[in-house]
């Protein structure tokens, strides 16, 4: 019995040594930058779609073409769904409630997800009723969460529905960048000022360059056209002048009625 076990052990050892000696070599090595791959992930380059993902065509410097498959993942779709559902919740408070409600503490921690990743706006401890649409209320003190507070609220103590819009824009930037609104930047800079600084430093400014400069690593490989759309909406929401910001009704419309080039990449 001992002899048989020793023989089997030696035979397995030889097989393991042989398998470790194997070396696999690819037929052809292709080098791409992340920017090159992301650039081709748009509707114009789409050549097919299957259960595993969407296939895009990418032109090579030598005139040839390669096929690039973007594997279907839930990261981007889930984040976009959270943005849409949270915007709808705020829109209901601002436009459909009687009287209208200002949340005053819109932040990622107050957007709760159920088992189906449906987003629900929560925690109304700081909420205020607004008697007239478009009016503002003067508060006795600032309430809310650092990094989400609109500049006019901090300066004048006046709050309206556009103050919530600013806070929601910060949430959108969190979804895109994968960063907290404060604490990850130097000199007390928040995420809004960080994004503005990063985009201003780009030598050749463009929507694509701005998104690539701030997008979080977990969204690498996600459709650039869809991320650009969300980024544009976020930057409109965090305008310093409250009058320049869209209403939550307009935000919902932009999120649920994207340009044709982005529609298939958002899975609405």
> What does the block give as tokens for 86?
């949270």
Indicate if 105 belongs to the active site: yes
Q: Answer whether 158's CB lies under 8 Å from 152's CB.
A: yes
- How far apart, in whole angstroms, are the C-alpha atoms of residue 181 and residue 229? 20
Instruction: Identify the active-site residue in 31, 105, 160, 190.
Output: 105
Site of tokens 């604490």:
183
Phi-psi region of 144 (alpha: psi -120 to 50; beta: other; left: phi over 0): left
Q: Answer whether 157's CB lies under 8 Å from 138's CB.
A: yes
Q: What is the DSSP string of 106-131?
A: --GGGEEE-TT--EEE---TT-EEES
For residue 101, how far is the Cα from the chain centroid?
27
- How far apart, in whole angstroms, are the C-alpha atoms of residue 257 and residue 41? 20
Which residues belong to the active site?
Answer: 105
């Amino acid at each position: 019995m001992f002899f048989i076990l020793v023989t089997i052990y030696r035979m397995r050892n030889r097989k393991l040594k042989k398998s470790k000696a194997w070396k696999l070599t690819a037929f052809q090595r292709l080098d791409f930058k992340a920017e090159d791959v992301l650039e081709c992930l748009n509707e114009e380059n789409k050549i097919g779609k299957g259960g595993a993902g969407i296939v895009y065509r990418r032109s090579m410097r030598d005139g040839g073409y390669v096929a690039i498959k973007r594997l279907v993942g839930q990261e981007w779709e889930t984040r976009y769904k959270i943005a849409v559902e949270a915007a709808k919740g705020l829109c209901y408070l601002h436009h459909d409630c009687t009287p209208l409600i200002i949340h005053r503490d819109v932040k990622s921690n107050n957007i709760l997800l159920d088992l189906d990743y449906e987003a629900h706006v929560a925690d109304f401890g700081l909420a205020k009723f607004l008697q007239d649409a478009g009016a503002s209320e003067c508060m006795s003190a600032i309430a809310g969460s650092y990094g989400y507070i609109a500049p006019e609220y901090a300066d004048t103590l006046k709050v309206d529905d556009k103050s919530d819009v600013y806070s929601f824009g910060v949430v959108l930037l969190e979804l895109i960048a994968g960063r907290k609104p404060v604490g990850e930047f130097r000199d007390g800079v928040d995420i809004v000022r960080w994004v503005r600084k990063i985009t201003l430093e780009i030598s050749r400014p463009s929507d694509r360059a701005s998104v690539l400069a701030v997008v979080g690593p977990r969204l690498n490989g996600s459709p650039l056209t869809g991320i650009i759309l969300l980024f544009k909406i976020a930057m409109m929401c965090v305008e310093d002048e409250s009058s320049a910001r869209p209403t939550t009704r307009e935000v919902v419309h932009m999120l649920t009625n994207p340009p044709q080039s982005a529609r298939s990449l958002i899975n609405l």
